[in-house]
Amino acid sequence: MVPTPTPFIPLRRLFNRVYTKWSRSETVEKEEMSSLTSMHVSEEEFLKLTGNREFSKYIALIDYHIRFDELPLRPHGEIIGYMNGFLMGVFQFASQANVLFPSSDNGMASSF
């Protein structure tokens, strides 16, 4: 059975509220997060919602439901950046398929 699609405008409003709080590491109300993560979202809608967002790589669409991952904060993201650079030097190549992504407390890549 295919779930009923969610109207896009209310979905976008709810997503924007949750995303704004989540991206600032503020507490997101359980009801809002639960409501958003229970909605059926198409791939096209997901791309419209997350396409130009700074933290879009930490948001996933799994089985047509949105999932917000934890944002890496200092020093975790910086350590990942250091490890990524070190391992690229050891293996002497860089790839677009890297699993580890560097970031700092503001989510932007940083260098040591």
Pair (12, 44) in one structural domain: yes
The whole domain housing 12 covers 8-68
Pair (16, 46) in one structural domain: yes
- pLDDT, tens digit, for every residue of 16-46? 999 999 998 899 999 999 999 999 999 999 9
Nearest to 49 by CA among 22, 26, 31: 22
3-class DSSP string for 23-80: HCCCCCCHHHHHHHHHCCCCHHHHHHHHCCCCCHHHEEEECCEEEECCCCCCCHHHHH
Arithmetic mean of pLDDT, 69-92: 73
Pair (62, 86) in one structural domain: no
Nearest to 39 by CA among 10, 17, 19, 16: 10
pLDDT higher for 98 or 66? 66
For the chain, the domain total comes to: 2
Instruction: Output the pLDDT for position 3.
Output: 65
Q: Residue 61 forms beta bridges with which residues?
A: 66
Pair (20, 40) in one structural domain: yes
Pair (63, 78) in one structural domain: no
